[in-house]
Structure 1
Amino acid sequence: MRRNSLATRLFFSATAWVVVILTITGFVLSSVYKNATERAFDRRLNLYLRTLIAEVATPDEPPDRQFQSLGEPLFELPLSGWYWQITRTDSQKADVRASRSLWDKKLPKLADRGVDLTAAGIRLAYVDGPEGQSLRMVERPVDLGADGKFLVSVAGDASEIFDETRSFDYYLGGTFITLGIVLLLTTIFQVRFGLAPLNRISESIANIRSGKAERLEGEFPVEIAPLARETNALIDANREIVERARTHVGNLAHAIKTPLSVIVNEASAHAADPFAHKVLEQTDLMRDQVAHHLERARIAARVTIVGTVTEVAPAIEALTRTMEKIHRDRGVDIEVKADPNAKFRGERQDLEEMAGNLVDNACKWASSRVLIDVTVERPPEPGTGPRLRIVVDDDGRGLSAAERAKVSRRGQRLDESKPGSGLGLSIVVDLAALYGGSLSLGNAPIGGLRAELVLPGI
């Protein structure tokens, strides 16, 4: 839908940005938290590592009291996931001391796996433990000079890091989902509230086009107020142009008709002269042409006015009463079935001129009955307005297809005995076309001619 297209685009754009920003922020925070957890875990490993190095550097302690200062019971539990290992590297014979938790197994050497020393002189990496555990391991080579060279290693169960990180991710995801929902609801509110003035302007313009209002009324935010002012100025300028056009049309009509009247008067004074007769004949044609095109110009100017609406039922009823008086001697019965809510998007005098020509023509040719049916139909396609349909049937002799085509042309009459100039139906066709409507002729169900006029409605 047109009105929600901007709101929809804004909503989806804001939603996309919220999702992208929260996702990126979530990844960053998760990474930061994981790094912080690893650093805390590494500090713990380094503490045990320094303690072991101190024990190795003071070999005078009795064997039963060595490595008791670690203070971690998990080093005593078999395969607990926490292990230490001291390997002498300057001896041909392997000399390895390890925590009870290793249970006769060994920790891998990070040096053999290509892990480089850090600036602090240690190696850090994740390795697989004795029972397939994921371990975070730190090792450091120690050179005690004459006392030997050693490789001291400490490993801890990395599931602590993973569990902490996973718990943080769960809490972070829940928090961000809640925050995202709140932000989206806030965005919806802001979009609806922020676009409300635009929706009000759209509705006001629709009311102007339908004739329910003449200008944009009410207070608008400072961002929208210039649009409202310019729209009202455009409407005023349109009306001013139309009024100026009407004035010019009237002036042109007087300017042309006066010389024509002089020519007619002079020619009438010499009516016996064949040349004067020809002049009179051509001036009649000129008058018809002038009247016809001035009428088109007048109507075209009126059609450009925004917001003109006519109630159809009252106009048709008034027209019916007039036609009944005009054709009283012929005893024609005029039946009207009009939708009381039908409205014509145009001026009343144009509606009366079009419908009047059709009803008058039907009354002239009807034997006894004329039926008028007025309905409003739904828009034929999206983006268009309702259609007003006026159907006039008579029970006269009707017309053939060739005759129907002929009478729609300007000045064409099938029966010279009937009064009229032959301009009626052509005027209806021109008027309807100027309003974006149409006139079609066909066979009436009651036996005569059907004239079907389609115009813009409401």
Structure 2
Amino acid sequence: MDTRQNQRELANRRTSSLATRLFVSATAWVVVILLITGIVLSSVYRAASERAFDRRLNLYLRTLVADVATPDDPPDHQMQSLGEPLFELPLSGWYWQVTRTDGEKPDIRASRSLWDKKLPKLEERGIGLTAAGIRIGYVDGPEGQTLRMVERPVDLGADGKFLVMVAGDASEIFEETRAFDYYLGGTFAALSIVLVLTTIFQVRFGLAPLKRISDSIADIRSGRAERLEGVFPVEIAPLARETNALIDANREIVERARTHVGNLAHAIKTPLSVIVNEASARSGDAFAEKVLEQTHVMRDQVAHHLERASIAARLTIIGTVTEVAPAIDALRRTMEKIHRDRGIVIEVEADMSAKFRGERQDIEEMVGNLVDNACKWAEQRVFIEVLVERAGAAVRAGGEVEPMLRIVVDDDGRGLSPAERAKVSRRGQRLDESKPGSGLGLSIVVDLAALYGGSLTLGTAPIGGLRAELVLPGV
């Protein structure tokens, strides 16, 4: 149960990680787009505010230029037709100034609001004339205000040259732009929240079918299901169909491999049986005895390699899981019957949650060889221990943690030296010809374990004899 829960948690974490990446990516794009849009809108609105302000200034400028161009009007009527009270209020931020520039000493006339101050010239700041013959820009006012000013040089020929300037307090532009930015920011913040919530909804429910496929594949690999079941959206349905087709094709390949292995076994064993029968009929003949000896070796070799081929075919099956404790208990009863004449006691201590990621006949083959070997060499006792290790678990290619199954078989026999341990692991090697067997048992275990990605280690048992430690993939 813990392993299944761990697998589902891993699948959920992978799906959550994908959802998180999609959410972060979508949120980042939303923020960037809204930020760029906000900057563009703010700039457009500021430019629009400046144009409206400039139109107002240009209206006053044209009025002043008209007054300058009609010097015949009485002095008390000149420069009095702007119609803006702020030009009369001292230091109000709204000013005009007319300067005659062709004399030895400039003649300056200005609005009452300017008091005894002067306006700076845009020409001196390096601002050039526009196509309309005016200069527009920002300057610092008499009281430290930021002014938006427009100036125009006027050449009246014999009547003189003048520089006409009109300035207004630019705080109107800044305040309007700031108010617009405030409302724009609030609107975009609300829009961002709505978009983020919408993205969360889309990511969560849009990835739900992928999570179901991930859970279903984990169930197939763990042996709890055989196919992807359920109805999937049209975007995901092709993936589910192809996955099921792949599983079916895998099973067909395995079945064909098994059939071929069985046919090969039958084709080879029949001629060998004929050779054995013919040689057995000539008892006492040295040549016949040699043929019988080599035929038995050939049978063992054929059985060994056919078994490996059969196992390799079985290993390609997806989702095969075997309960270990029942298989070990059945082996214990069988071995006790086989060795009952020697009074061997077989003790088992197994984790009931232990599961082997493979077929039952394979784990019975491996553990059966180890227990049979232990019973042959034991004096009185054989001890079998089954452990599930999750702390030192392996990591699969997809990033999933895989528990390891550890099966320890100890006997109280004479044990083996390091050199003898290395020797018995090789195929066909036997230390004592008086013991029954072909010498293939441990080598078969080594080969089987390697095919499953496991290993076999020989050492010294705490009870005095040989310890065989088998490590296999668990569930």
Q: Same fold (TM over 0.5)?
A: yes
Q: Write out aligned runs for 1:183-332 (5 A).
A: 183-332=195-344
Q: Deviations over 1:171-228 (max 9, x none)?
A: 3334334433433333333233222222222222121111111111111111211111
User: Are residue 15 (structure 1) and residue 34 (structure 2) matched?
Assistant: no
Shift of 1:137: 0.8
Q: Deviations over 1:231-255 (max 9, x none)?
A: 1111111111111111111111111
After the TM superposition, which of the residue ranges 437-446 and 403-412 deviates more from structure 2?
A: 403-412
Q: Deviations over 1:120-146 (max 9, x none)?
A: 333212122223332111123445677
1:353–1:113 Cα change, 3 Å: closer
Task: Give 2:94's aligned residue.
Answer: 82
SS at the partner of 1:301?
helix
After the TM superposition, which of the residue ranges 326-335 and 244-253 deviates more from structure 2?
A: 326-335
Task: Give 1:336's aligned residue.
Answer: 348
Kept in 1, the 8 Å contact 2:100–2:106? The answer is yes
Q: Distance in 1 between matches of 2:129 and 2:363?
A: 97
SS at the partner of 2:334?
helix
Task: Give 2:187's aligned residue.
Answer: 175
Task: Give 1:164's aligned residue.
Answer: 176
Shift of 1:279: 1.4
Task: Give 1:423's aligned residue.
Answer: 440
After the TM superposition, which of the residue ranges 170-179 and 95-104 deviates more from structure 2?
A: 170-179
Task: Give 2:372's aligned residue.
Answer: 360
User: Are residue 350 (structure 1) and residue 367 (structure 2) matched?
Assistant: no
SS at the partner of 1:388?
strand
Shift of 1:104: 1.1
Task: Give 2:147's aligned residue.
Answer: 135
Q: Distance in 1 between matches of 2:130 and 2:350?
A: 95
The residue identity in structure 2 corresponding to 1:448 is G
Q: Distance in 1 between matches of 2:125 and 2:394?
A: 74
Q: Distance in 2 between matches of 1:64 and 1:334?
A: 129
**Structure 1 length-normalised TM:** 0.92
Q: Deviations over 1:389-431 (max 9, x none)?
A: 1111122222211222222222222233333232222221121
After the TM superposition, which of the residue ranges 274-283 and 416-425 deviates more from structure 2?
A: 416-425
Task: Give 1:380's aligned residue.
Answer: 393
SS at the partner of 1:380?
strand
After the TM superposition, which of the residue ranges 336-345 and 21-30 deviates more from structure 2?
A: 21-30
Q: Distance in 1 between matches of 2:286 and 2:375?
A: 39
1:69–1:162 Cα change, 3 Å: same
Kept in 1, the 8 Å contact 2:300–2:438? The answer is no
1:261–1:210 Cα change, 3 Å: same
1:148–1:208 Cα change, 3 Å: same
User: Are residue 445 (structure 1) and residue 467 (structure 2) matched?
Assistant: no
Task: Give 1:103's aligned residue.
Answer: 115
Task: Give 2:406's aligned residue.
Answer: 389
Kept in 1, the 8 Å contact 2:394–2:403? The answer is no
Q: Deviations over 1:22-51 (max 9, x none)?
A: 232122111101101101111221222233
Task: Give 1:118's aligned residue.
Answer: 130
User: Are residue 155 (structure 1) and residue 155 (structure 2) matched?
Assistant: no
Task: Give 1:400's aligned residue.
Answer: 417
Q: Distance in 2 between matches of 1:126 and 1:172?
A: 25
Q: Distance in 1 between matches of 2:282 and 2:336?
A: 42
Q: Distance in 2 between matches of 1:406 and 1:92?
A: 120
Q: Deviations over 1:255-295 (max 9, x none)?
A: 11111111111122222222222211211111111111111
Kept in 1, the 8 Å contact 2:151–2:166? The answer is yes
Kept in 1, the 8 Å contact 2:322–2:355? The answer is yes
The residue identity in structure 1 corresponding to 2:434 is S
Give ranges in structure 1 of 5+ residues lacking alignment.
Answer: none
**Structure 2 length-normalised TM:** 0.89
Q: Deviations over 1:354-395 (max 9, x none)?
A: 112222222222222222111111153433511111111122
Shift of 1:332: 2.5
SS at the partner of 1:385?
strand
Q: Distance in 2 between matches of 1:206 and 1:91?
A: 96
SS at the partner of 2:312?
helix
Kept in 1, the 8 Å contact 2:91–2:113? The answer is yes
The residue identity in structure 2 corresponding to 1:423 is L
Task: Give 2:3's aligned residue.
Answer: none
Q: Distance in 2 between matches of 1:94 and 1:329?
A: 135
